[in-house]
Amino acid sequence: MILVEIVTVLALLQYLTFAALVGRARVKCSVKAPATTGHEVFERFYRVQMNTLELLVVFLPAMWLAARYWSPALVSGIGAIYLVGRFMYFRAYTREPSTRSLGFNLSLGPALLLLLAALVGAVLAGLK
Amino acid sequence: MILVEIVTVLALLQYLTFAALVGRARVKCSVKAPATTGHEVFERFYRVQMNTLELLVVFLPAMWLAARYWSPALVSGIGAIYLVGRFMYFRAYTREPSTRSLGFNLSLGPALLLLLAALVGAVLAGLK
Amino acid sequence: MILVEIVTVLALLQYLTFAALVGRARVKCSVKAPATTGHEVFERFYRVQMNTLELLVVFLPAMWLAARYWSPALVSGIGAIYLVGRFMYFRAYTREPSTRSLGFNLSLGPALLLLLAALVGAVLAGLK
């Protein structure tokens, strides 16, 4: 499970980096807490963090459940695609929100695939 | 633990469905990213997703911790009530926000019960 | 792992308390669902809950991963600092947002430390 653990830590560090960039954008764009709106650029960074949070709560349990039934090397490989997809999503969204689809799909896809793998694994185990 | 795993996957799929409906509402209500406000109907779908996210981070750890001490069949049965409650919450909130209490309570309740079960289980095990 | 479990339950209960206070602030400040803006005091409570959610998704996996490699007593002790830090953050933010740094750092710090401990543990185990 070491590879799955390392992908987990990297996904959390990536997410924390997005969160830190929101903090920086807050200062740069002069959006004073507790507001989360008021400047388009700040809002892009904020949406990247929030959307990553929204996906992370699916991705991590899906990866760990899938790893109960499938090869940890395969599962963490799919997890690595998620990491790359999220990075592309971040780059695209903060530059031009309308171009965020590819990175979005390359990170949602692996999460869905792992969730499906977990479901198939659990159902097959239940039928035994 | 197979039943607990299946309830976990179903809870994540339900949440992803709510998230997908936000995406659809975004287009229908013409709320352009990164905005998350501006149209009452969009905001209802968005709040359903966010509130489900807010509860999911409690529900999943609570269910898995409870399953360390109590029958997985019982624990996943309580988890199934959560799934039904969240569906009722979604239906009520998107039609008329003021009617969302029943579904809200039927999903918060199971999460709290599982959290309490986990706490009691851990404390009793610690006293041994 | 009992101590780690108990810190987990306490962190979830603390978060649910922050969420319940948002519900109360919603009524007191007359911010009708689905709105999440419109009254400064409500927004402070809402940001405390959201920021705690944002950190919780890092803290819990980090603590459990760290506990795979380091003493559960030490790991849960660091987790206890997180709990105190979050309480300070809540107190400061709801009174005067500009004073929230100390509580913020005292809860982000333990989460980062646990994440680093998990990473070091996993990498060292991988090198063996």
pLDDT digits (tens, 9 = 90+) for C91-110: 999 999 889 999 999 999 99
| pTM for the predicted model, two decimal places | 0.95
C59, C82 Cβ separation under 8 angstroms: yes
**Once rounded to an integer, what is the mean pLDDT over residues C50-63?**
97
**What are the tens digits of pLDDT across the range B13-53?**
999 999 999 999 999 999 887 788 888 899 999 999 999 99
> Do residue B6 and residue A126 have CB atoms under 8 angstroms apart?
yes
User: Which CA distances in Å does A98 have to A21, A73, C89?
Assistant: 20, 34, 36
List chain B residues with CB under 8 Å of A47: 33-34, 36
* Mutation choice for C interface testing from B58, B94, B98 by most C CBs within 10 A: B58
> Do residue A37 and residue C40 have CB atoms under 8 angstroms apart?
no
The four Cα atoms B125, C2, C8, C10 give a dihedral, to 10 degrees, of 60
pLDDT of B119 strictly over 80: yes
Q: How far is C29 from chain B (nearest CA, A)?
A: 17
Q: Which helix (H) or strand (E) holds B36?
A: none
Instruction: Name the residue type at position C11.
Output: A
Cβ atoms < 10 Å from Cβ of C16: 20
DSSP state of A112: H
DSSP string, chain C: -HHHHHHHHHHHHHHHHHHHHHHHHHHHTT--TT---S-HHHHHHHHHHHHHHHHHHHHHHHHHHHTTTS-HHHHHHHHHHHHHHHHHHHHHHHH-GGG-HHHHHHHHHHHHHHHHHHHHHHHHHHH-
- ipTM associated with this complex: 0.93
> Do residue C13 and residue B115 have CB atoms under 8 angstroms apart?
yes
pLDDT confidence bin for C32, thresholds 50/70/90: confident
Peptide bond preceding A110: is omega within 30 degrees of 0, i.e. cis? no
Nearest to A12 among C62, C93, C123 (CB): C62
List chain C residues with CB under 8 Å of B122: 2, 5-6, 9
pLDDT of A94 strictly over 90: yes
> Do residue A2 and residue C126 have CB atoms under 8 angstroms apart?
yes
Give the integer Cα–Cα distance in Å for B49 and B16.
8
**Once rounded to an integer, what is the mean pLDDT over residues C22-47?**
89
Q: How far is A57 from chain B (nearest CA, A)?
A: 7
Under DSSP, is residue B28 helix (H, G, I), strand (E, B) or coil? helix
